[in-house]
Amino acid sequence: MRILIAFITMLSLTACSSVGMIASPQREFNTTETLQLASRPANFVDTVVEVGKSLNYEYAGGDRSKNIINFTDNTGLGMGVLIGKVSQNRLTVSLAPDGRSVKFDLNSFGNFSTANEEKISERIGEFKNALQTNLR
């Protein structure tokens, strides 16, 4: 009986995942935005890493000598298995050599409206606001 219940449960989860993947096609959206700073920040890389982590991004390395920081985030395996939701974002934040121009490159891939212009603009706006607050 336990084996039958386990089989039915696994079958249900697989069916939900498949329906979610079919019902909401996967999309990709890429954008680049900039932010002008009033002055060169003293500790740019550490501040950006702190801001990214506070916004639930996972720090994924970068190049401290070039002031480039990479972040990722995704919905995780559990959500993908349960309802078929897929979402992955890659954000690169970099400081131009002039020390006053910050560039945000965001690549978003997902379904259920996670990779659209409105959602991505909102995410970058949150990051910009938090970064400006922390660099003051």
Domain count, the chain: 1
Mean pLDDT (the chain, rounded): 79
Query: Average pLDDT in the 71-94 region?
Result: 70
| pLDDT range class, residue 75, cuts 50, 70, 90 | low
Map residue 72 onto helix, strand or coil: strand
Separation CA 13–CA 46 (nearest Å): 41
Amino acid occupying residue 132: Q
| Structural domain of 35 | 2-134
Return the higher-pLDDT residue of 109 and 62. Answer: 62
Q: How far apart are CA 123 and CA 17, in angstroms?
A: 26
Note the pLDDT of residue 44: 95
> Of 105, 135, 100, 136, which Cα lies nearest the Cα of 123?
105
CA 107 to chain centre: 8
CATH of the domain at 111: 3.30.160.110
